[in-house]
Amino acid sequence: MARLHLFDLDGTLLHGTSAPVEISRQLGLEAETVELDRVMSAGRMSPPEYAARVYALWAELTVAEVAAAFDGAPWLARIRDVWAEIRAAGDYCAVVSLSPSFFVERLLDWGAHAAFGSRFPAVPFVDPVDPAGLLDGAAKVTIADRLCAEFGVGRADCVAYGDSMSDRELFRVVPVSVAVNADGHLAGLATYSYTGRDLWDAYELTRGVR
C-alpha cells in the first residue's frame, strides 16, 4: 500500500522561521511579522486577523519579492531528494500549510504532488483576502482526507511532519508522525522527534514503518 507523506512548512521545511517572516524580510518588516507570529502561536490571534494584518503589511508586495523570499529562505537540506525518493517508492508527498498559497505552491516545482496554503489573492494585491480560504489546524485534517481520497490511500497510510500546535490535530489522526524541530507540546504527540537541518534524516525515521 502506498503512503502519503504530509509536510508542514513553517518551522518544519523552513528552519526557525515562517514564510510570512521571510516575505516581510524583503520589505524591511521582519520584526513586525515575527511579533504577529508570536501572538498567533500563543493563541491570541485568529487566522483571519493574522491574515488581515500581514495583508496590510504586504500592500506593496511584488512577485519578484516573493521569489526572492522563497529562494533566500533557510530551507532544510535535501527536501527535493526526499520527495524524489518518496515518488520513486510509489508513495505521495504533499505540503499543507497555514502560510499563503502563493508561497506554498512554489514547492510543486520541487517535487511535491500537492501543495496547499491559505488562499490569498494574487500578487500584487488587488482583491482582499477571503476569510473562507484561510486554513487552520482542523483544515489540515480535511485536506489530508481529500488527498487520501485522491491518491487512493487512507489515514492509516499517512505520515505527518510538523513543528507546532497547528499540526496537533493532524498528528492525532495519523499513525506515524515526526516532530521536526518542534516544541515540547507537539513532540509529546509524535511517533518520532528530529532536531536538525536535514529533511532526509527526519524522513529516514519513518522508512522502516509501514
Tracing cell 524541530 back to the chain, one arrives at 181
What the block records as the C-alpha cell of 153 is 490511500
With bands split at pLDDT 50, 70 and 90, how would you rate the model's confidence at 1? confident
| β-pair partners for 161 | 7, 178
Of 178, 131, 56, 181, the closest CA to residue 20 belongs to 56
Summarize the confidence of residues 56-60 as an average pLDDT.
96
Q: What is the mean pLDDT of residues 113-137?
A: 95
Q: Are 67 and 132 in contact (CB under 8 A)?
A: no
pLDDT band (50, 70, 90) for residue 191: very high
- What beta strand segments (E) does 16-110 contain? 92-100
pLDDT of 166 above 60: yes
Q: Measured between alpha carbons, how far is 140 from 97 in angstroms, rounded to an integer?
A: 8
Could you write out the three-class secondary structure of 128-151?
Answer: CCCHHHCCCHHHHHHHHHHHHHHH
pLDDT of residue 117: 97
Domains delineated in the chain: 4-15+75-204 (3.40.50.1000)
- What is the pTM for the complete model shown? 0.96
